[in-house]
């Protein structure tokens, strides 16, 4: 059985996208009730990792365990049951239904999955909207909202069914500083109030370090660093330090692999 | 040279894979029930969106096609002194052929392309993924009601197309060309058979309805989630379903007439 302190465990996972190897023997465990930020250079498959945990992508080999059960080998019915009761996910583009208003978007999972009477659904939806500060925007449509508001509505919707695990895919991208501050506060606040396990995919080192209990740095298909922000900053892994400090050159080279520069330039004259 | 052979093979493999995915989509979404399945209201809403909203184009097109048929038919039949067969000609042409085929073609252009674009955009904006992560199966919630709405709508639209076309033919033949209206209507009533003409036309329309809607929802669901991908998928829907309608029409006609 799995260690009870770990909500999600990824064991020896290999994943190919087409012919490109994204993950090669990935091992990582995400502790229960904590915020873990998954970080790494673009294109390393951070979103892919979230999608594997959510069961939307299947690993080519290895196991992804959520609460001890293997997401990859679960039946379709069990997988939907797991997502319905235990998981929430906030997508990069939010995925709000454009034909429904804010209220109906948040009510969607409740109406679909429960037989609660209308007035109780109304109360629940208003509570979730109040938590993200958008109770007053309930009649607006997604097209009428700003980027930050869209993300807050999506957040309210993903906690509508009170999940135990919530995954955020690039929640800070494209937000102004005020909206960013709101989202940061919400992620932290929700985690504390509801005891959620939160996984956060982000590039924003500063913001992630502010709220994350642990950082998980992924590069080249493997986890190259896992620990608290302070541990990693003061650690001895040069690549991790380069990433956290944002140095343009270092173990991760500035140049894409190429032939010798001088030889390449002269080759044009031949 | 070898490169061309290889790319040809690749196209072949890709189309077979695509047919396989389309088949899986169909079998998974044709039945109701499952995680977060759509309800009866969703079906009604979709019938309104694909069927009722196609009414205007179907009625106008049907009327004009009927008028043209009567005009052309009159000028041919008058040479043989058999203009009294005009009603029969117009109605049989419409009920057996043009009603189902043209209604399905118009449906593919009007509703099929819209279905593809809608589903493709839902995919591109991660609405389908979000649905999945909420424990709702998008196949059951989004695809099933749209598929059935198309299957139900096309035969009704085809029947309406033929009916309006016959009225259009009567308008030209009787009111404009002065054909005796008893000849137009009674010859029609005597020769049109309910099973052989009306029902067979409806069977055709039902088959076209399944195929067009299937192609439309598949193209949307399988589209690359970019604006270019959705544009391409929408075009594909119209092109593939038009060809499928015309090809299937020949096969169905051959089977129904028993002539081949």
Q: Which residues contact B115 (CB under 8 A, 6 or more apart)?
A: B50, B146, B150, B213, B216, B217, B220, B237
Residue A196, φ and ψ in degrees, nearest 5: -75, 155
Give, as one character, the DSSP assignment of residue A138. Answer: T
CA-based end-to-end distance of chain A: 65
Q: Is B189 on the interface with A (CB under 8 A)?
A: no
Place of tokens 């937000």: A175
Q: Is B225 on the interface with A (CB under 8 A)?
A: no
Does residue B239 or residue A45 have the better pLDDT?
A: B239
CATH code for position A77: 3.40.50.300
User: Is residue A116 in some structural domain?
Assistant: yes
pLDDT at residue A147 in the model: 86
Q: Report H helices in chain B.
A: 2-29, 40-46, 55-77, 86-92, 99-107, 113-124, 127-133, 138, 144-170, 181-191, 200-222, 227-257
Confidence of residue A4 (pLDDT cuts 50, 70, 90): low
Quick check: A223 pLDDT over 80? yes
* Mean pLDDT across A77-99: 89
Q: Is A92 on the interface with B (CB under 8 A)?
A: yes
CA nearest neighbour of B223 among B213, B235, B232: B232
Q: Which residues contact B189 (CB under 8 A, 6 or more apart)?
A: none
Which residue in the set A91, A93, A113 is minimally distant from B135, CB to CB? Answer: A113
Place of tokens 């650690």: A235
Lowest mean pLDDT among A104-108, A237-241, B123-127: A237-241
Q: Which residues of A touch B136 (CB under 8 A)?
A: 80, 84, 108-109, 112-113
CA nearest neighbour of B74 among B175, B197, B192, B210: B175
Quick check: A184 pLDDT over 80? yes
Quick check: A250 pLDDT over 80? no
Yes or no, beta carbons of A95 and B35 under 8 Å apart: no
Q: How far is A89 from chain B (nearest CA, A)?
A: 6
User: Is residue A44 in some structural domain?
Assistant: yes
Q: Which residues of B touch A109 (CB under 8 A)?
A: 134-136
Query: What percent of chain A is modeled with pLDDT above 90?
Result: 30
CB A158 within 8 A of CB A89: yes
Please count the residue pairs, one from chain A and one from chain B, whose beta carbons lie less than 8 angstroms apart: 72
Yes or no, beta carbons of B126 and A84 under 8 Å apart: no
Confidence of residue A136 (pLDDT cuts 50, 70, 90): very high
User: Is residue A252 in some structural domain?
Assistant: yes
Give the number of domains in chain A: 1
Question: Which residue ranges make up each domain of chain B?
Answer: 37-257
Q: In which residue ranges of chain B is pLDDT below 70?
A: 259-260
Bridging pattern class, strands A35-39 and A61-66: unpaired
| Domain ranges, residue A247 | 6-267
Quick check: A270 pLDDT over 70? no
pLDDT at residue B79 in the model: 93
HSE-CB of B117 using CA atoms within 13 angstroms: 13
ipTM for the predicted complex comes to: 0.82
Q: How far is A55 from chain B (nearest CA, A)?
A: 9
pLDDT at residue B97 in the model: 92
Q: Which residues of B touch A76 (CB under 8 A)?
A: 35, 137
Confidence of residue A214 (pLDDT cuts 50, 70, 90): very high
Confidence of residue A1 (pLDDT cuts 50, 70, 90): very low
**Mutate: best of A74, A95, A110, partner B, most B CBs <10 A:** A95
CB A169 within 8 A of CB A50: yes
What is each CA distance from A265 to A225, A254, A255, B205, in whole angstroms? 38, 19, 16, 65
For residue range B206-245, list pLDDT tens digits in order: 999 999 999 999 999 999 999 999 999 999 999 999 999 9
Angle at A154 between CA B34 and CA A191, to 5 degrees: 100
**What is the C-alpha separation between B209 and B105, in angstroms, rounded?**
10
Which residue in the set A56, A88, A93 is minimally distant from B132, CB to CB? Answer: A56
**Mutate: best of B135, B136, B142, partner A, most A CBs <10 A:** B135
Yes or no, beta carbons of A85 and B132 under 8 Å apart: no
Sheet of strand A165-169, all strands in order from the earlier edge strand to the far edge: A87-90, A165-169, A197-201, A35-39, A214-219, A222-227
Q: Report H helices in chain A.
A: 46-53, 76-86, 102-113, 118-131, 147-158, 177-194, 205-211, 229-233, 238-245, 261-267
Rounded to the nearest angstrom, the gap between the alpha carbon of residue A255 and the centroid of all alpha carbons in its chain is: 29
Place of tokens 């998954």: A38
For chain A, the average pLDDT equals 87
What is each CA distance from A109 to A22, A203, B57, B121, B132, in whole angstroms? 33, 30, 37, 21, 11
Rg (CA), chain A: 21
pLDDT at residue A247 in the model: 79
pLDDT at residue A120 in the model: 93
Q: Which residues of B touch A93 (CB under 8 A)?
A: 125-126
pLDDT at residue B33 in the model: 77
CA nearest neighbour of A174 among A193, A197, A150, A157: A150
User: Is residue A1 in some structural domain?
Assistant: no
pTM for the full predicted model: 0.85
Yes or no, beta carbons of A56 and B133 under 8 Å apart: yes
Q: Which of A77-86, A201-210, A256-265, B42-51 has the highest mean pLDDT?
A: B42-51
* Mean pLDDT across A14-28: 87
């Amino acid at each position: 059985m799995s260690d009870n302190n770990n909500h999600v465990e990824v064991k020896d996972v290999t994943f190919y996208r087409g012919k490109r190897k994204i993950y090669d023997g990935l091992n990582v465990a995400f502790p229960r009730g904590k915020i873990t930020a998954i970080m790494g250079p673009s294109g390393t498959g951070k979103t892919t990792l979230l999608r594997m945990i959510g069961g939307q992508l299947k690993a080519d080999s290895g196991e992804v365990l959520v609460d001890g059960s293997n997401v990859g080998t679960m039946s379709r019915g069990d997988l939907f049951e797991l997502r319905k009761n235990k998981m929430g996910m906030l997508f990069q583009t939010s995925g709000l239904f454009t034909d429904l208003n804010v209220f109906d978007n948040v009510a969607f999972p409740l109406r679909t999955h429960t037989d609660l009477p209308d007035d109780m659904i109304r109360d629940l939806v208003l509570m979730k909207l109040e938590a993200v500060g958008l109770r007053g925007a309930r009649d607006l449509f997604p097209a009428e909202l700003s980027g930050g508001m869209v993300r807050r509505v999506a957040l309210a919707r993903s906690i509508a069914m009170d999940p135990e695990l919530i995954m955020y895919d690039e929640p800070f991208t494209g937000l102004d500083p005020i909206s960013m501050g709101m989202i940061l506060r919400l992620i932290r606040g929700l985690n504390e109030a509801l005891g959620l396990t939160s996984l956060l995919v982000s590039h924003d080192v500063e913001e992630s370090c502010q709220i994350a209990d642990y950082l998980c740095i992924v590069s080249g298909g493997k986890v190259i660093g896992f620990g608290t922000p302070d541990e990693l900053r003061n650690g001895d892994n040069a690549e991790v330090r380069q990433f956290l400090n944002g140095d343009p050159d270092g173990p991760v080279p500035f140049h894409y692999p190429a032939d010798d520069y001088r030889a390449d330039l002269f080759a044009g004259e031949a | 040279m070898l490169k061309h052979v290889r790319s040809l093979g690749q196209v072949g493999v890709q189309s077979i894979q695509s047919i396989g995915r389309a088949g899986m989509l169909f079998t998974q979404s044709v039945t109701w029930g499952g995680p977060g399945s759509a309800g009866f209201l969703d079906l009604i809403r979709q019938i309104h969106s694909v069927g009722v909203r196609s009414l205007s184009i179907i009625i106008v097109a049907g009327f004009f096609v009927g008028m043209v048929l009567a005009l052309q038919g009159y000028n041919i039949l008058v040479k043989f002194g058999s203009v009294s067969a005009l009603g029969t000609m117009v109605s049989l042409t419409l009920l057996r052929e043009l009603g189902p085929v043209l209604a399905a073609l118009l449906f593919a252009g009007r509703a099929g392309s819209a279905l593809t674009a809608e589903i493709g955009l839902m995919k591109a904006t991660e609405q389908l993924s979000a649905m999945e992560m909420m424990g709702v199966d998008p196949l059951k919630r989004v695809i099933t009601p749209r598929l059935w709405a198309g299957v139900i709508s096309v035969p009704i639209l085809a029947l309406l197309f033929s009916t309006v076309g016959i009225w259009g033919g009567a308008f030209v033949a009787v009111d404009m060309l002065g054909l005796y209206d008893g000849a137009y209507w009674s010859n029609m009533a005597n020769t049109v058979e309910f099973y052989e003409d009306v029902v067979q036309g409806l069977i055709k329309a039902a088959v076209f309805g399944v195929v067009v809607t299937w192609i439309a929802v598949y193209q949307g669901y399988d589209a690359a989630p970019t604006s270019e991908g959705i544009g391409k998928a929408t075009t594909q829907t119209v092109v593939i379903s038009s060809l499928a309608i015309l090809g299937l029409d020949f096969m169905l006609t051959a089977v129904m007439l028993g002539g081949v």
